[in-house]
Amino acid sequence: MPRITPEHREARRAEIVAAARRCFSRDGFHQTSMPDIATEAGVSAGAPYRYFASKEEIILAIAGDAFRLVFGPVERLAATTEVASVGDLVAAALDALSAETVTDAAGRAVPVEELLRCAVQTWSELLRNEAVRARAVEGFESVRRGIADALRRGQEAGAVLSTVEPERGARVVMGLLHGFLLQRVAFDLTDTTGFTDDIRMLLEG
Amino acid sequence: MPRITPEHREARRAEIVAAARRCFSRDGFHQTSMPDIATEAGVSAGAPYRYFASKEEIILAIAGDAFRLVFGPVERLAATTEVASVGDLVAAALDALSAETVTDAAGRAVPVEELLRCAVQTWSELLRNEAVRARAVEGFESVRRGIADALRRGQEAGAVLSTVEPERGARVVMGLLHGFLLQRVAFDLTDTTGFTDDIRMLLEG
Amino acid sequence: MPRITPEHREARRAEIVAAARRCFSRDGFHQTSMPDIATEAGVSAGAPYRYFASKEEIILAIAGDAFRLVFGPVERLAATTEVASVGDLVAAALDALSAETVTDAAGRAVPVEELLRCAVQTWSELLRNEAVRARAVEGFESVRRGIADALRRGQEAGAVLSTVEPERGARVVMGLLHGFLLQRVAFDLTDTTGFTDDIRMLLEG
Amino acid sequence: MPRITPEHREARRAEIVAAARRCFSRDGFHQTSMPDIATEAGVSAGAPYRYFASKEEIILAIAGDAFRLVFGPVERLAATTEVASVGDLVAAALDALSAETVTDAAGRAVPVEELLRCAVQTWSELLRNEAVRARAVEGFESVRRGIADALRRGQEAGAVLSTVEPERGARVVMGLLHGFLLQRVAFDLTDTTGFTDDIRMLLEG
DNA sequence: CATGAATGAGCATTCATTCAT
DNA sequence: TATGAATGAATGCTCATTCAT
């Protein structure tokens, strides 16, 4: 019989992840030391190792979150939204990405800004870390499939041109979303509405 | 009087940069040590310090190259191309990004793949390195201006909708280019033609 | 009044010692962690500390066992055997050391192989651990005295040369026993009979 | 062209080995930290890593020395001595082991006491370190062969019983030598002459 | 009594950088 | 100039031990 409840354990783990996310967001994966994370979490130097076998596992957990949480609203939207034009779809997705926080599986609010800063670093990491890459690709494909479905439904409803191939069209939409995210987090271009309007303009004339 | 000619010195510097680029592309900025770079360049451990004050300066040099060289062809294209539709512009840009190598200021061929892998890492780096950020923003704005000009010329020629605001429209085009580059280098989606066709389809119906 | 009986307590302690012995034999004193021992014993991480104040105390207990148990049969033999030649004595001792298991004070069977592997490590340990040294010396001297007595009885019976000084002759016999044990456990030379025959040959011509 | 001569490099390496030997002899392999070794050698914490890839490599080097140097005189003796009785052979060997120092390949004097204390620890180490074991077995077999040869020559000269099988007789002699070394270093029994006399007495009546 | 979570000092190792030659 | 040996601070990680429950 454990001395702490599974809930407590889960909460402690979440605190460490949150601390790591703050550190990574602020200083980067490689400029953050394990003692930094422990200090930020207010625990001892050894404590994180009771929840993660290595620093890489923490990075992996956060890389997974970055994709899952950031694109969670987009996926839900793509699955449920009324059939709409491509412009509507992109606009709705960017809108979903513009919240201050998103909610994780346990209902905790996670700052989108932190997640995005970690997500960009994940792109570097997946270049030579197979575990990170696998998680990123899985997240990417999941969102892409969701968007492709939405495009398909749009075509059935006549709101999307039937000449667009949904799978490939979804790739272009993903490109726009990633492109926007990069501009927002790395180049401080945070004007979502303007970007959305411009896309509509280009797409719909 | 110098014991080595400026040309020799410049060539030696370029060798070190090229070695660093190979290492960074293969192993990442932070998994590459200065001795690694020296070894890859076939010089002594101290040699790089005669050309760069620190590892950060090498990263900075390569970050600058990554943006300048990758987007150089796009800029030239935006400046010189016959006025065209937005689809044409994007297609031409992606086409330019699909070469095996680009040529640096001294006429040396530089593998695009290496540059792109460094560029993605630069996005991480600029999050907390002001010097890298400055260089990246400078490159970004330069390309964006070029594209905006091209859009303006397109509007004058009637090939681009006059309702598009060139500066902001250029931002969307940059988003598409970055989104494509990320997919190519991080998610192995290398089908340029398909991507281009899909963009055209979405843009032009 | 205790919640567990002394018997239970003693049994639990013996389990921990046995687990530690297996770990030490397999991985060495210093490559075995306290959690390793607890896991091997199937108890909690804190449990060993209710029976031993420190890891060193466990090592000490096992060091004592190593000498006491390994040489127990030799001592009994030296005390009880019919007077015999030196060759007989050594042969009988090596024979006693060749059993699969020996029996501890509480009647538990303990694998000789494990004890020997711990004994060899004890030789290292006693070089700088006074407590271990004391226990080892005590065991050594006890066995040596037993062998000296046997030699004395042999001399009285005319089976051992009267010119042999028993105390010092016993030291040579101990050297042979230790030398054999080392060869067996460290150099995989397990041919007891051959070794015995050769000793006889050398001793008795 | 190296900045230090190979001689200087070799000397530096030898200093580090000597420092490690002192530390290991005093505190044991596992109680000695790499910083301890560096401090003892009067060099920086990183310096040993320019000569040895890891702590294990230092242990390995010293394990090799322990066997080679300690038994070097014995091997030379076995190879060159006038044919003699087994008692003479053992006596000469123990005599050779009783010097204060032995000389390594480069002519440096190495304290025998230190080597022996390291040798005893090597017996522990070889139980679970294949590299150490290989080196130890190689040294053991080499000496044993030398002793077997000496026995064979003794038999030819009529000084050793022809019924003794040299290879196996050599094993008994090795047992006596190891047994003596253990007593000397671990049990403070340093009286070589007494031990020798007793062996003679037992062997030759 | 027993548990196992938590601690925090300690360790092996790396690496950016310096500087005597 | 160029070399490469040396430095030493910093890092990821382990583990003996404690103690609240």
Q: How far apart are CA D91 and CA D97, in angstroms?
A: 10
Q: How far apart are CA D73 and CA D75, in angstroms?
A: 5
- CB within 8 Å: B198 and A127: no
pLDDT, greater one: B54 or B84: B54
CB contact B47 to A (< 8 Å): no
The predicted pLDDT at position B184 comes to 95
Strand, helix or coil for residue C101: strand
The residue-averaged pLDDT of C73-77 equals 85
What global pTM score does this model have? 0.92
Tell me if C14 is assigned to some domain. Answer: no
- Domain that residue A128 falls in: 55-204
Strand, helix or coil for residue D52: coil
Tell me if D37 is assigned to some domain. Answer: no
DSSP chain B: --SS-HHHHHHHHHHHHHHHHHHHHHH-TTT--HHHHHHHHTS-TTGGGGT-SSHHHHHHHHHHHHHHHHHHHHHHHHHHSPP--HHHHHHHHHHHTTSSEEE-TTS-EEEHHHHHHHHHHHHHHTTT-HHHHHHHHHHHHHHHHHHHHHHHHHHHTTSS-TTS-HHHHHHHHHHHHHHHHHHHHHS----HHHHHHHHHHHHH-
The predicted pLDDT at position D2 comes to 54
Q: How far apart are CA D111 and CA B159, in angstroms?
A: 91
The predicted pLDDT at position B137 comes to 95
pLDDT tens, position by position, B138-171: 999 999 999 999 999 999 998 888 998 999 999 9
Contacts for C97 with CB less than 8 Å, ≥ 6 apart = C70, C73, C74, C112, C177, C180, C181, C192
Tell me if C170 is assigned to some domain. Answer: yes
Tell me if A98 is assigned to some domain. Answer: yes
Tell me if D189 is assigned to some domain. Answer: yes
**Within 7 A of a protein CB, which nucleotides of strand E?**
1-21
Q: Is the pLDDT assigned to residue C69 strictly greater than 70?
A: yes
Q: How far apart are CA D93 and CA D200, in angstroms?
A: 13
The predicted pLDDT at position A205 comes to 66
In contact, A151 and A164? CB cutoff 8 Å: yes
Q: How far apart are CA D81 and CA D32, in angstroms?
A: 40
- The phi, psi pair for A115, rounded to 5°, reads -60, -40
The predicted pLDDT at position D1 comes to 42
Q: How far apart are CA D194 and CA D182, in angstroms?
A: 16
Q: Is the pLDDT assigned to residue A1 strictly greater than 50?
A: no
Q: Is the pLDDT assigned to residue D176 strictly greater than 80?
A: yes
Q: pLDDT-derived band of residue C205, with 50, 70 and 90 as boundaries? A: low
Q: pLDDT-derived band of residue C1, with 50, 70 and 90 as boundaries? A: very low
Q: Is the pLDDT assigned to residue B90 strictly greater than 70?
A: yes
Query: Smallest Cβ distance to D28: which of C124, C178, C197?
Result: C124
pLDDT tens, position by position, A109-139: 999 999 999 999 999 999 999 999 999 999 9
Q: Is the pLDDT assigned to residue B84 strictly greater than 70?
A: yes
The residue-averaged pLDDT of C52-72 equals 93
Q: What percent of chain A has pLDDT over 90?
A: 72
**Chains in contact with D, where contact requires at least 3 CB pairs less than 8 Å apart:** C
**Chains in contact with B, where contact requires at least 3 CB pairs less than 8 Å apart:** A
Indicate the range of B69-78, C34-43, D122-131, D167-176 predicted with least confidence. B69-78
Do D and A touch, 3+ Cβ pairs within 8 Å? The answer is no
Could you tell me if residue D111 is left (phi over 0), alpha (psi between -120 and 50 degrees) or otherwise beta? beta
In contact, A103 and A96? CB cutoff 8 Å: no
Q: pLDDT-derived band of residue C202, with 50, 70 and 90 as boundaries? A: confident
Name chain B contacts of A164, Cβ cutoff 8 Å: 198, 201-202
The predicted pLDDT at position C67 comes to 86
Tell me if B35 is assigned to some domain. Answer: no
pLDDT tens, position by position, B115-141: 999 999 999 999 999 999 999 999 999
| Position B39, amino acid | T
Domain count, chain A: 1
Q: What CATH number is associated with residue D134?
A: 1.10.357.10
Tell me if A50 is assigned to some domain. Answer: no
Q: How far apart are CA A185 and CA A183, in angstroms?
A: 6
pLDDT tens, position by position, D36-88: 999 999 999 999 999 999 999 999 999 999 988 988 888 888 888 776 788 88
The predicted pLDDT at position B85 comes to 84
Tell me if B38 is assigned to some domain. Answer: no
Q: Is the pLDDT assigned to residue B67 strictly greater than 60?
A: yes
Mean pLDDT of chain C: 91
Mean pLDDT of chain A: 92
Residues 49-78 of B with CB under 7 A from strand E: 49, 54-56
CB contact C195 to D (< 8 Å): yes
DSSP 8-state secondary structure symbol assigned to residue A143: H
